[in-house]
Amino acid sequence: MQIITYISNLAMPLIILIIVIYSAIEKNKVFDDFIDGAKEGLGIVINILPTLIGIFVAIGTLRSSGILDMIIGFITPILNIIHFPKEVMPLAMLRPISGSGAMAVATDIMKTYGVDSSIGIITSTIMGSTETTLYTIAIYTSCVKIKKTRGILIAALTADIIGMLVSVIVCEIVIKYI
């Protein structure tokens, strides 16, 4: 285990050293290249800032308005039919939208039900098997200026739904038989 820690501590300095040595061999100006990269990164941040602000405002509005509770109450009969725990539904709804919002919901679920409960295990599995889809799509498509994201959105959200359903199924099987 100590060797892994040792290698981890050396990884970044070694990468930097390799970059400097390679640049010296190729006769590149390392600091100028660094400055150019930093300028390009700052330009990307400025380009995606309006998208990020819009996403964060929408998430804040969704969480504080009570719409999530209303939707969960409405679809509870369907959740019961497919054996999807309604306690996990706020996470399932927020995960594609916001990583930090999903983390807050997951933390609340863990505090309420415990990390070793079936709800806690399902929550952990969903967090690990899904992505903050809308955020990721918004960032990547705005960086390369893609406007038509319907196909991307449908495919990614379908993958999230399948990931959540499979998480519940696998966790139920594992909890029941192991």
For the chain, give the percent of residues with pLDDT over 90: 26
Residue ranges of the domains in the chain?
2-177
For the chain, the 3-state helix, strand and coil shares in percent, each to the nearest 5, are 85, 0, 15
- Read off the pLDDT of residues 78-111 as tens digits, 9 standing for 90 and up: 988 988 999 999 899 889 887 877 888 888 899 9
Given a cut of 90, is residue 145 above it in pLDDT? no
State whether residue 144 is helix, strand or coil.
coil
Measured in degrees and rounded to the nearest 5, phi and psi for residue 148 equal -95, 100
The alpha carbons of the chain give a radius of gyration, in whole angstroms, of 22
- Read off the pLDDT of residues 15-61 as tens digits, 9 standing for 90 and up: 888 888 888 888 888 788 888 888 998 888 888 788 778 777 877 78
What is the pTM assigned to this prediction? 0.66
pLDDT score recorded for residue 162: 93
Rounded CA-CA distance 140/149 in Å is 11
CB 129 within 8 A of CB 167: yes
